[in-house]
Structure 1
């Protein structure tokens, strides 16, 4: 699983690949953390995240939006993201966790929001790929 930060006019984009959809979602979330902070300390407590949605794209959007919300409410940078996605009757559920590094321990850049602009989630010959643009 891997991600790359991509320049995108005034925004930032993350492109990720992985062997499974779960891995790609986690990689995009790790890319979000990297877009906000260059150096992440080892401190921070894990917290749980749960999201349900009607499509893979909506699940990815809602999960990333929830991580930004957790950053704002808890005052933490969500890193070391671990996710498990299940699909049942065309409904998708994500159960995950992240380590919340206190924002006071990092020099973080603000990411305002995740966007649907140019979002792409696709199955590939090698697994999954996602491309997500964030408003900065």
Structure 2
């Protein structure tokens, strides 16, 4: 799985790929982490999140929105993402991340995930996602 940060007018975008759907979700989340700061220390404890949605795009949006919420509530930058997705019936995502205390980093504020230009698609080699974040 890979990701690249992309310039996007006043915002920042993440383009990511992965072999499996969970891989591309992890890659986008890693891109969100990288959009916050240049380097990430090894501090912090793992925490878990669970998200359910009716579509894959909504699941991706809600997952990233939950990571931003956890950043604000816990005062941590979520990094080192691990994701599993159950696609039987309602889509359910179970994930964990290591929460780096925001006091340990020099971070740019990412305000929100947007649906603007969001793409999540199956490709011949796996999955591709493109997500724009409001800064």
User: How does the TM-score come out when normalised to structure 1?
Assistant: 0.98
C-alpha displacement of 1:133: 0.3
Q: 1-side partners of 2:110 and 2:43: how far apart?
A: 21
Flag structure 2 segments of 5+ consecutive residues without an equivalent. Answer: none
Q: Structure 1: which 4+ aligned runs deviate by more than 6 Å?
A: none
- 1:93 is matched with which residue? 92
Q: 2-side partners of 1:31 and 1:68: how far apart?
A: 13
C-alpha displacement of 1:88: 1.4
- 1:84 is matched with which residue? 84
Measured against aligned partners, the alpha-carbon deviations of 1:96-124 in whole angstroms (never above 9, x if no partner) come to 10000000000010000000000000000
- 1:54 is matched with which residue? 54
**2:8 aligned with 1:5, yes or no?**
no
SS of equivalent to 2:87: strand
C-alpha displacement of 1:36: 0.2
Q: 2-side partners of 1:38 and 1:13: how far apart?
A: 16
Flag structure 1 segments of 5+ consecutive residues without an equivalent. Answer: none
Q: For residues 95-110 of structure 1, what are the structure 2 equivalents within 5 Å? A: 95-110=94-109
SS of equivalent to 2:38: coil
C-alpha displacement of 1:56: 0.4
Q: For residues 19-58 of structure 1, what are the structure 2 equivalents within 5 Å? A: 19-58=19-58
Q: 1-side partners of 2:108 and 2:82: how far apart?
A: 22
Q: Give the aligned CA root-mean-square deviation in angstroms.
A: 0.4
Q: 2-side partners of 1:117 and 1:92: how far apart?
A: 22
Q: 1-side partners of 2:74 and 2:10: how far apart?
A: 27
User: How does the TM-score come out when normalised to structure 2?
Assistant: 0.99
